[in-house]
Structure formats: C-alpha cells, structure tokens
Structure 1
Amino acid sequence: MASRKAKQYCAEGKYVEAYENFVNYFESLEDAYQASEPVQKAFTKLVCKIGTILEHTENIEELIKCYLQAINLFPDNYVAVNNLGGYMFRLGEVDIANRYLELAVKINPGYLPAEKNLMHLRWQQIPRWHFRMLNDKVRNEAYYKAINEVIGQGYCHITDLGSGCGLLSLYASRHPQVRVLAIEDNKLLFNMSQEILMDNNVMNVSPVNYYSTDILESPDKCNVIMTETFDVALFGERALESLFHALTILRTEENFKVIPSTAKLYVTGINSEELASKYWYIPSETLKFLQLHSLCIRQYDSETYEAEHLSDAAITYMTDTQEVFDINLADREQLYRILADTETAYYLVSLKCKKGIIHALAVWFDLNLTENITLTSNPQDPNRVKCWEQAIFYLDHPVYVNEGEILNIRVQVDDCQPKFSLEDKRVGQHKCFQVSKDMISFMNDESLVQAIVRMSEPFYEPDLVVDSNIFPLLGFILAMNIEGCRVWHTVKNNKDMEFLQHLLKINNIPQQKFAIHKSQEVFSPGPEQYFVNFCDPVKVDGSVDVLCGEDDEVDEIMVLKLPEGVVVKVQLIYSEYIEYCNKVNDDNLLGVKIAKYMNLYSGYEHPNLEKLDFIEYSTPVYFMISEDAEETEEVQVTRDGLVNGLYFWYELQYFDDYSFSTLNSSHYKKSCFFLNEPKKVKSGDICIIKMKTEGHDMKLTLE
C-alpha cells in the first residue's frame, strides 16, 4: 500500500520518495479526504519537514510547489496554508502572505501559529509608531492649529505628502472652501483613508495612491504643501526629497505655504554605559578566560542610527549642543544644496567637551509648523512631543576627551540620510570585530553569562554539544575543558562567524573540534552516546519558542536537553504605555473618527520591551511550558483599579537545583499580552489566567 510505503520512507529519512508515495496514494482516491486522519497528519508532518529543508537550502520554487500541491489535495489543511503564508511573509511578499494567513485563520480560528503569524504581518503593515503618532495629542493639536492658521490666511489648495490614514487632510477638510490632494504610497493606508473619509462624510479630499515623487505633473492647484513624514533624525524618511519634488512639480502658485515652514537639527555628545552596552562588548571578569579583553567588539551597523528615548536612559551630556541645520522647508534651492551633497561634501560642527568619555552623538530637532507654532523632540524639554525618540549615532570607539577640548563632527547627507562621524579619526589600539546586536547583548548580560558558566560545572564528558545560543558560551567552555568533546554551532552572518573563528584561534581550539556552520545547514547527529542539546527557548524579543530543541531525528540518541524545563511567570498589571502604543484613541484626534479602522491592526502582544512602566495588580503565577497545552491558574488581585495587561518573564531550569530568571536580564527583552479592554478589579478578586501553547507559540489570556 502506497501510504504504508510512504511512512516507511519517512522513517528512513527518504522524504522525496515518501512525498511521492503519499501523493500517488491520495490521487488514487476519489477524494483525498477519504484517507484516514493519521495518514493525513503524517503527510502534513512530512510536508512541513520538506518545507523546512527547502527553506534552509533556499529552494524557493520547489518549496512553493510542495505546499501548493498539498493545499490542492487538502484545501482545509490550515497547517500547510499557514506555513506557506509564513514563508511568503519571510520572503517579503506581504500581500500574498496576507491572503494565505487570513485563510488559515478562517479555516481554524483557534490555530495559534496562524493567528500569531497574521498578527506579526499586521505589525509590518501598520508599525506601532503609527499608533504612537496618532495618540500624541500634543503633535495633533499643533498640526491642527497650524493648518487652521494657514487656511485662515487664505491658502486653500492643499497637497498632503505621505497622508497616511488621512488625519491632517481631515483637519483641513473642516473648512468647506479647502480642497486637499492626499498622496499616500502605502496601498493599505490609502484604502483605509478612503473608508475613513467616507465615514467622516468628507467630500473635499481627493486621495491618490502614489509615491509623491513619482508624480510628473501637478494634478490640481496647490498653494499649501503639508507633510508629517519625519523620523527621529528629521529627514531620514526622505522628507526633504519629497518636499523638494513638491516645490518643483506639485506647487502651482508663487504665493504658497509649507507646513512645517522651517526645521532645525541639533547634535550633542553623550556618555551612557547603558546605551554603550547595546553597541560594544563591555569587558567583564567572567569572560576573561576567552581572551576578550584584547579585542574591540562592537555591533555592525545595519542602520545608520538607532532611536532611543533619552529621557528614559541613564546618560550624561558631555558637550554643548550645536545647531547642524536650519532649514527653510519652502526654500527649494536650500533643499537642493542639502540633497545634492556627495560623499566628498560635508559640514563641520564643533562641540566643546567636558572631561570624560563620549560614547555617541545624540540628535533631535525642532519643527516650526508656522512662525507661531513649534514642536520639539528635545529630550530635555518637558513640553516635547513623545511620539519621536532621539537619533543616536554611535562612535566607532568610545572617545576620551578633556575639559574644554573641541570635538569636530563631520556631517554628511547620503541618499537623504544624515550621517555623523568624527572629523579627526581616532584609531583604537585593539583588533576590532563587528558582530550582531544580539551577540553583544548576550555577552554583556553578566547574570546570564555567570549562569551558563556555573551551569557548565556539573557536566560529565559529552561526546557532542550542540549550542544554538547566539553566543556559544557553553560550547567554548566544554570544548576547552573536555578533551574529547566536539561542538556544533550555527551562525546567521559572516561577521559573527569571523569573530567566533578568531576566538577559536586565540584560545587554541581546533576548528575540527568546534564546527561553526551557516544557519541554512541542517544538523544531523551521528551515533554519539552522550549528546548535549543546549537551545535557547527564549527569543531576544521576550517571546518563547515552545519547541526549541525538539527534533524527532535525535530521539533515539542519549540526549541531555538544556534547559530541562521553562517556567513562565505572569502577573496582572496596568500600564498607560499599553493604551498608547497599541490602540488608537479617538479622544486624541480632536473629533476625527479613525480608531475603528486602525485598531484592526493592533495586536494582543507587545514583544521587545526594554522598559515598561506599570502598576502591579498581583503576585506572579507560574506555568510550566509544554507542547500543545492549555492550562489555567487562579490569581488574586492585590489592589483596586484597572488591569490591562499580563506581564511575563521566564525561569530557565538548567538542572533540578539551578535556574536562571529573565526578569532582570539585559539580553532578553520583556513581553506583555494585552486585554481587549481594561478590566476593573478590586483587591481580593480572583481572576483566571489561561496559557495556551501550540506549535512553537504561546498565548496568555485573562478568562
């Protein structure tokens, strides 16, 4: 029988032959659903296995063909539909991914992996900063007043660049004499804005779905250009390029206004061990045995600058603050001069220093919407807008400066991106390596490093260690201390590999003893008698991989899986930030109704929390993470008030008597599940928290 032969091939690891036999069997039936449920499940498991292998080998065509054939045979196979949707999402094919993921959720509304994948896709379609922007009432009121002021001066033909969901256009539309051309290139936001305009009974706004610089001639009269397309470094989102094009092509009248009218960009030098530890490895005594003190290890620059709320960080301002640009946003020639800069053109800014160490340059801006209305992102100004962080440009190396020393900063504009660097290059004395951000945070988490060092002590002598942590510390320790021990580790990029290979060299560890592979290579264990599988079930963003370390192919080998168990600790909280970053509140929009459209793209979880201000409403309750489980725990409320979140962290149980908590970890961010609506509680109330795990995912809800 073909299905029996297919199962045999699966057991032998002959996946192609197994797949072909399954397909032949299903096609021999009048309806593939006539096959028994166990056979269908075995086929689904095989399809997922083949999909994983094809993705690792980047065989896109065969992967899509495999999943589509499985879906054609079993249209209701929500596992295959979800996996294909998830893969298309990872490829960046968001529209295609959306269709498959929505279908998977429709087929099985309770299937957690599809639900999570769709939520992650929604976050990419509408990033959380949209929610923060729309909820920033200070920003909204300033733009509202500026728009009214300009219209009151008789300017009525408005072009809104990057109109998003249409908030600024809606403000302008309240004046019946006004006509607004709202230009938005994001198709989803454009479609949403059309619905919002209809819902708000607006007739004098014309939305168009274009990137503004692709428009070759003005489609309408224009004597006002308004925009809010600014990032934390002011014009990193190509705002100046859009304005230059609008002044050249879209503006039709000589007498015109631009909102904002002018902008100023500022820079200062800062010292912050807290921020520096995100960018450089800070040498510690715990890792001294790896010879790291002789190296400079820093994050490779995937982005030109980072965004940080400096008001929340421990920092010292080490220089005076200097103005970098004072830009008249209505001056086409000035915009051209800034945008036309080449790699050899630059500006110099001189900063007067205090004595100490400078880690980075902090940048913020003022937006003068009109002569009378100003917004600022200055972290030292109590009236600043909160939706923008500050831009942080890390130096190549920390710089030691003396009191009164002048630090010359080179400022360049390259492809609309501002870039800041030292004019006088200061060469470090150590050999430099650039590694991933996650590797830096792992190495700088002293409590995590100490936990792994301590955990390595009770080992017998394993034949093989598979260490899948971002930095294979356990692998290094056992390779250095156990003569016959071999290590397997995978990396995602060449820079991490180069650094780890250098560590092998300076610590005299032969490469044949410590194998470092690219992540697409699939691990196949040999007949080791004692095999340690050290995975990292907690992701850096604070979520958990329930199935971390699970592999059917190693079940027959004598394996020590670490951690041996994972406990999730959960408590009831209330946090204003949850309301601010996840759901739009129409009360912040000055009478405009947008929330019901935007909130379709809010989520029920917020990973990657570095800091979260909240009020505790219970002591923690505990769940042991296990595969495909549903459990509930009672929790007693400890104070009167409102609850809107389930804050959680993990305890990694390495051995019976030893564990590590991620609560105060600097490597693992925190995560929080949201309630649909805040819940009113009283001290002494009993609430029920439910944990559900399915596949690799976990979800917490308040029942």
Structure 2
Amino acid sequence: MQAEVNDILEKSLQKAREHDRTGNVGKAYAYYTIVAELSPAKRSEIEETFTDVLCEWGIQLAEDHRFSDVVRCYKHSLDIYPNSSRMLNNFAAHLLRNNDPIRAIEYLKRALKIDLNFLPAERNLQNAYSMAVDRWHFTMLNDKWRNSAFEQAIHKRIRQGYDTVLDVGTGTGLLSLYAKDAGATKVYTCECSEAMMLIAQEVFESNNAADIKLIPKLSFDLKIPTDIPERVKLIVTETFDAGLFGELVVPSMINVHMNILDSNGMVIPMGATIYAAAIECEYIRYRSSVVFDKVKDYCPLNFNNVSVLSDDEYYDTENLEKVQINYITEPQVLFNINFNDLLELQEFCKDGIKQMLQTKCKYDGTVDGLVTWFKLHLDEEITLDSSDGKSCWQLAVFPAMPINCHGGDILTIKAEMSKSKLKCSFSTDNARSNENCKFLYRLPKEVIVFLNDFNYVKMLTEIGRYQESREIKYILDTSPFPIYGLTLLKEHKDSEILYYKTDNPTLRFLIEQVARDSGLQGKVYMVSNYDEIPCPLDSILVHNFDIKGELKDDQDSCYEIFRHLLKPNGVLLPEKIFLVGQLVYSEDLPNMVYVKDANLQRSSCSSNTPICFNTNLASENDSHIQINTANKESKSTNYVIAEYINRYKINQIFDLNSSLYSCEIISDAQILIEINETETTEAVMNFGKINGVNTTLPNSLVCWYKIQLSSDHVHDTRKNESFMNHIAIVFEDELRDVILRDKEVKIKIHQMKGLIKITVLNL
C-alpha cells in the first residue's frame, strides 16, 4: 500500500514540476496539492514552490473573474499550510481587490501574528484599515466645532417637537447619540459600510443607547414599515464632501423626502450656500497642468505643440490655507439650495447648467482655475463655513489651462450638475492664453507633477545628454513620461531604440507626438509587458515611485528588471535610494490617524432650557461656525467613541505636502536607511537626547527620499514641487515616554524590498 502511495507521490511531484515549468499553473497547483495532502513530511520541502504556484493560479482565476474559485483554493491551501504568512497575505490581497477589507483584516492579523516583521502584510493591513474606514472619518470626528454645531442644531429641532429621527449615513453614530440625549422618542439610523456599522453598534452599547435602531442599509433601500414603522419628523445627515454634493446628497435627500420624512418634517442641515472665485495659485498650476516654459530651457525635446491638463472629471480637493493664493475675482454666490424643499431638490438634481454668472477680474494676473466652498446652514442660526482653515472640509478645486487676464476682464462662470456632482468652469473673450497649443492632452496627475518637477527632470536630461562614453543603443525608461530615454535618443549618437510601457492611450499619443516633433520617428516603442523587449538593454531608468510618497509594490521591481533585461555592464538608474527622516511636532497629523474623545463633547442641558450653546463653540470672529444668538454656558462630557474607530487607525500617512498640515521641526534631517529592493535590512537611527523640560516634544517622524541618480545628481523629494509627496509616521505616546525618561530617541527602521516599518525603541 505504501509503495503505491509513494508511486503516486513521485508521479504527482513530477507532473507538478512539468506543468509549473510549462506555465500551466492550474494543473501544477492540483498536483502539488495531491503531494501536500498525501505526504505531510514533504510539505515543508515544497512550501515555497507551492505558494508561488498558488499565487500565479490565484491571479489567473481573478483575471477570469472566478473569485469563488480563488477563495476555495486559498482556503483549502491554508488548511494544509495554516502558518504560511505569504499565503495569508496573498489571500488577503485578493479579498482587498474584491472590496472585502473586513475579511482581509482577519487574515492579515494572522499573518503578522506568525511573522511580526512580514512587511507586505503590514502594508496591506494599513490598506485594509483605510478601505474599511475612510480616512476622512478621523478628521471629521476631530472637528469639535462641527460636532458641537450639529449637537446644538439637533437639540433645537427636537425641543421644537421633531422628536422621531433618522440619521442617514450614521458612521460612528455621533449624530444619533446627540438626538437621543436631546430627548428624541425614537432614533433610527442607517449605514451601509460593514465596518462603520460594527463600530456604531459598539458605540451605542457603550453609551447606553442600545435602543437606537441600526439598519444596515443605504437610505435608498429603506422601506416603511419594514425598516421603520412610520415616517419620521427629523432627518439628520452629514454626508458632504468638499464639493458638497459628492456623496449623492441630493438624490438621497429626495428619496428620504418622498419615502421616509413626514410631510411636516425637517432636515438638518436646512440648506447650503455655494461660493466660487477664480484664483491665481502656482501650487494648483503645477499640480493641474504642465508648465513647459521651464522645461524648454534645458530640455532638447520639442513641446511647442502640446498642452497637458489634469484628467480629473470633476474636481480635486485641496487645503489652500498654507498656500500662496490670490483671488483674481471677488467670491460670488453660485446658488443656494434648500434641503427642505422637495420640488427644488428634484429640479436641482437634473443634469444641466444651474448657474451662469459674470464677474470682473480685479487685476492683471494668471487664472489657474476656480475654487468653490460652501456655508452649511444647519438651521436658521447655526452655519458651518467650509472655507475656514479649522474645517474638516477642504476646498473644491476646478483646475483649468492657465490663462492671462487683465484687470477689468469679464469672466463667465458656469456651474452645472452632472451625475449628481458639481462641475464648474469659466470662459472669457478677453483672456490671453499662455499657450497657443494645437493639441490638448488630459493626463493623470502623476504625469503632470513628474513633468513639473523641474529639478528632477533637469537631472534626467543632463544624465541623458552627458551619459558616459559607453555605447548605449537600447534603453528602457519606466518613468511616467520617458524624458530620460527620449533625451538619450536625441543627444546620444549611439542610441537606437527606446522602450516604454503605458496603459494610457492618451499618454501614448503624447509621447508619440513629442517623439515625432523631436525628429525621433521610428525609434520609440511601447510595450505591454517588459518580456516583449527582444534584446538586452544598455540603460534602464527605474521609476518605482508612487506620487503619494512610497515605492510601488508591484511585480515590475528593480530586481526583476535588472535580472531579466539589463546587460552585465549596463547602466541602471537610480544608483541608490535613501529614506530620510526628521522628527516634528504637529497638532494636525494625529487628527488624521486617530480620534480623540475630547473632540466629541456633549452638553448637559436641563430639560427646561430651550437651547444650550457651549461657550467654546465659537468666538465672535470665528468664521468656521456662526451662531446668531446668545451663548449659554454648560458643562460637557465626552462620548465613548474613540476606542472603537481607533481599532482601524493607521500610523503611516501618505500623500502629504506642507499645505496639508503645520508642524514644528524638532531634529535635523537624517538618512535612516538605504532602500534595497532585493533584500530585507534593518537599521537604527539615534536622534540623541531631547530636552523634555519646557520644550515641545515630537510626536511624528516625517519621511521622504533622496534619489541618487548618479554620484553628481541627487534629488530630494521633500520639496513641495517634487513629483512625490512625503509620508509621516505618527506616534501617540512612545516618543514622549522615551524623552521624559531622559533616554536617547532611537528609531528602528525595518526595510523589506522597499516596504518600511518604523518603530520607537523603548529601552
């Protein structure tokens, strides 16, 4: 009997290896599974290959939309290898791609329990937390002005008799808690996010509010009497984005008016006023359109007939509080909207133009686009202003191709609704265009910020122009726009062919036009996969950088390109990449990653008080919240919410630039570690002792990269005009505890193929 089993094992292993070698990973997986099931003794021997084959097979199944088979294969494989951190992480990655972060978190925690320093699982866990709970929940809940304003508005309406409540999109349940404490006889709440629903359930139980009925549905799917026994008297909601309507606010309002709200009921907020202005702002200009004037000064390529603008369909969101911005026109009211008027909402919801207005330019300048903001009228007296720097909302930015204007020129601003979202644009007969372009290309932001990073592009151009005297015929450039490779073709007499890769047809047309206009026809080839390149390469520029501030975690790694494509004596750029860090103190950064219960205060109002306003709610000159009535002093307590939503907190913040936060620099910038995409490495950076007496203590480490293209060309991505934003690691109490114990601040950096984990050594 054992001899027969051994024969089956030997044949199955042979077939598994043959199918793996020929690329038939489905059959290879089936035969490896037979081996692992029949022979526990061989499991460790084949585990690595088994996991590789399962990974490839899972990818193929996912590409064929066979997700149920992906789940079946991974679950069966994990029964065999329950302690495989790679397998657990790969399965979680499939779950994330299938928009199932809650289940992914379970498997990622298992992977990290097995191997605490398995950084792919650590990074995916951060992604899973961000998918499960959108990061704006944290800044929103930490906006104590917003919270207090909604509390007071809800108290007022309930005391006026609107005492049955539906909270639409409850999130953590904060507004529902306000309604219950204000004396509502019944509070219903709906939430479609699985993670937020679980959080709200725990929040209600911990705050003695288990009688709030939590309905796991979109408001569009609520029915009477199935979900709610009768129409309610008050709707409360805070589902607004920077453009006010981005979260399908108007269709949601129409639905609750028609199906849920009593005919004499009310909605909080009562309405909104939307404002717009034309602006001049270099920061917006360089993030929204390519300014070729500076590139032309040192680049041999011909960009004369092209113009590039962002491909954002609607608007971007920006905090411009710390950015130089000039208002070319005075702010204008675009329109008012009444959330308590069903007919007005139905008319407003239709696609089409909602406003055309004319406004005069105040002075000579450059118009870089429009910004809009809103005042949210919670009731007749309480208004929140999204343009204030304290607000959890940012400005909505509608970029445009920069145009010159003169004082007195008339701009026509057009506002329209499209698919329930706001779109704004402007036109003028008198404006003078900075570019007389024949072709306009709309491209992703990564291409725009790359071409606008003049220092980096200049370095690439210089290296391409003054490459060493070696023969360079065949080139691969993986950057968002292959300016290095094109310069080599243009300036280096031996260069013959440039290969590049893109899935964006518009970008391909742009590259082809610039190549054609620069006299490089027939020398530029696009590939869908790098294995299509038929010959060894003399030079490769690996642009493995994500504009949000990290290295890309994909299969086209520097190691793979080097191993398969580069000649033994070929040129590989960059030569080295270093991670740099600097200790800072910031009030803003912690608000982005975890919630503080102190920002979730509630007022203790006596039953005979018609309305209670917290004296800290607003000052006379505070434009973020305006209350047109006398304030009355009251005591405050906090809800227990933070501990539940903070289960989904992250400690790394990506996509940062100086416009998003304020900070006080505590230490010098230090090189933390050299990035090695082929190995796992560790390092410890000692920032020394920091005086803990009468000194601001650091709470974050801001990180960025030094890219050594060559020994003479080093690029620092910390600058705002860099093609990369930077990241921050936020520490709650770890740094403070070390400093107050009069210890040296030591930071441990763990690096695994470009992925980073940073911890404080608490010795």
CA contact (8 A) 1:643 1:678 kept: no
**Bigger Cα displacement from structure 2, 95-104 vs 586-595:** 95-104
**Bigger Cα displacement from structure 2, 472-481 vs 43-52:** 43-52
**Bigger Cα displacement from structure 2, 60-69 vs 89-98:** 60-69
Q: Give the corresponding residue for 2:617.
A: none
Cα deviation digits, residues 556-584 of structure 1 (max 9, x gap): 84443221221112222221112111110
Q: Does 1:613 align with 2:662?
A: yes
| Distance in 2 (alpha carbons) for counterparts of 1:199 and 1:485 | 69
Q: Give the corresponding residue for 1:572.
A: 583
| Distance in 1 (alpha carbons) for counterparts of 2:235 and 2:65 | 46
Decide which of 376, 379, 385 is 1:370's aligned counterpart.
379
Q: Give the corresponding residue for 2:273.
A: 264
Decide which of 670, 675, 695 is 2:726's aligned counterpart.
670
Deviation of 1:178 after TM superposition, in Å, equals 3.0
CA shift in 2, pair 1:25/1:417, >3 Å:
closer
Counterparts of 1:324-335 in structure 2, within 5 Å, are 324-335=334-345
Counterparts of 1:26-65 in structure 2, within 5 Å, are 27-28=34-35, 31=38, 33-35=40-42, 37=44, 39-48=46-55
| Distance in 2 (alpha carbons) for counterparts of 1:234 and 1:178 | 30
Decide which of 521, 544, 547 is 1:510's aligned counterpart.
521
**Bigger Cα displacement from structure 2, 210-219 vs 55-64:** 55-64
Decide which of 598, 603, 606 is 2:645's aligned counterpart.
598
| Distance in 1 (alpha carbons) for counterparts of 2:158 and 2:517 | 69
Q: Give the corresponding residue for 1:390.
A: 395
| Distance in 2 (alpha carbons) for counterparts of 1:674 and 1:32 | 47
Q: Give the corresponding residue for 2:202.
A: 195
Decide which of 289, 298, 306 is 1:295's aligned counterpart.
306
Q: Does 1:652 align with 2:652?
A: no
Cα deviation digits, residues 21-78 of structure 1 (max 9, x gap): 6753562466554227454224434544666788789997987787567545434322
Residue 27 of structure 1 aligns with an amino acid whose one-letter code is: I
CA contact (8 A) 2:540 2:566 kept: no
Cα deviation digits, residues 301-329 of structure 1 (max 9, x gap): 2x401111122221110112111112222
Deviation of 1:668 after TM superposition, in Å, equals 0.8
| Distance in 2 (alpha carbons) for counterparts of 1:64 and 1:468 | 34
Q: Give the corresponding residue for 2:674.
A: 624
Counterparts of 1:493-532 in structure 2, within 5 Å, are 493-511=504-522, 513-518=523-528, 521-523=529-531, 526=534, 528=536, 531-532=538-539
Counterparts of 1:186-585 in structure 2, within 5 Å, are 186-217=193-224, 219=228, 220-254=230-264, 256-283=265-292, 284=294, 285-286=296-297, 288-301=299-312, 303-340=313-350, 342-343=351-352, 345-354=353-362, 355-379=364-388, 385-395=390-400, 397-422=401-426, 429-430=436-437, 431-456=439-464, 457-459=466-468, 460-480=470-490, 481-511=492-522, 513-518=523-528, 521-523=529-531, 526=534, 528=536, 531-545=538-552, 548-551=557-560, 552-554=563-565, 557-585=568-596
CA shift in 2, pair 1:566/1:606, >3 Å:
same
- The alignment's TM-score, normalised by the length of structure 2, stands at 0.83
Cα deviation digits, residues 595-631 of structure 1 (max 9, x gap): 0011111102011102242222222332122221122
| Distance in 1 (alpha carbons) for counterparts of 2:24 and 2:356 | 66
| Distance in 1 (alpha carbons) for counterparts of 2:261 and 2:72 | 50
Deviation of 1:100 after TM superposition, in Å, equals 4.0
Deviation of 1:140 after TM superposition, in Å, equals 0.7
CA shift in 2, pair 1:103/1:556, >3 Å:
farther
Residue 610 of structure 1 aligns with an amino acid whose one-letter code is: N
SS at match of 2:577: strand
CA shift in 2, pair 1:366/1:486, >3 Å:
same
Deviation of 1:387 after TM superposition, in Å, equals 0.2
| Distance in 2 (alpha carbons) for counterparts of 1:183 and 1:54 | 35
SS at match of 1:198: helix
Q: Give the corresponding residue for 1:157.
A: 164
CA contact (8 A) 1:173 1:204 kept: no
Residue 624 of structure 1 aligns with an amino acid whose one-letter code is: E
Residue 744 of structure 2 aligns with an amino acid whose one-letter code is: I
CA contact (8 A) 2:734 2:760 kept: no
| Distance in 2 (alpha carbons) for counterparts of 1:636 and 1:196 | 42
Cα deviation digits, residues 666-700 of structure 1 (max 9, x gap): 21100111224353226985222111122441111
CA contact (8 A) 2:224 2:231 kept: no
SS at match of 2:220: helix
Q: Please, which runs of 5 or more residues in structure 2 have no aligned partner?
A: 1-9, 602-637
Q: Does 1:698 align with 2:753?
A: no
Q: Give the corresponding residue for 1:118.
A: 125
CA shift in 2, pair 1:30/1:248, >3 Å:
closer
| Distance in 2 (alpha carbons) for counterparts of 1:58 and 1:30 | 27
- The alignment's TM-score, normalised by the length of structure 1, stands at 0.90
Residue 686 of structure 2 aligns with an amino acid whose one-letter code is: E
Counterparts of 1:124-139 in structure 2, within 5 Å, are 124-139=131-146
CA contact (8 A) 1:6 1:22 kept: no
| Distance in 2 (alpha carbons) for counterparts of 1:212 and 1:546 | 37
**Bigger Cα displacement from structure 2, 363-372 vs 402-411:** 402-411
Deviation of 1:124 after TM superposition, in Å, equals 1.7
SS at match of 2:501: strand
CA contact (8 A) 2:13 2:32 kept: no
| Distance in 1 (alpha carbons) for counterparts of 2:53 and 2:532 | 17
Deviation of 1:420 after TM superposition, in Å, equals 1.3
SS at match of 2:124: helix
Q: Please, which runs of 5 or more residues in structure 1 have no aligned partner?
A: none
| Distance in 1 (alpha carbons) for counterparts of 2:576 and 2:503 | 26
| Distance in 2 (alpha carbons) for counterparts of 1:636 and 1:316 | 43
Q: CA RMSD in A?
A: 3.0
SS at match of 1:508: coil
CA shift in 2, pair 1:658/1:58, >3 Å:
farther
**Bigger Cα displacement from structure 2, 684-693 vs 602-611:** 684-693
Deviation of 1:386 after TM superposition, in Å, equals 1.7
**Bigger Cα displacement from structure 2, 548-557 vs 322-331:** 548-557
Cα deviation digits, residues 414-470 of structure 1 (max 9, x gap): 221111123668897312112221011000001111121223323322232221111
Decide which of 172, 175, 179 is 2:182's aligned counterpart.
175
Report the number of matched residues. Answer: 688
Residue 631 of structure 1 aligns with an amino acid whose one-letter code is: A
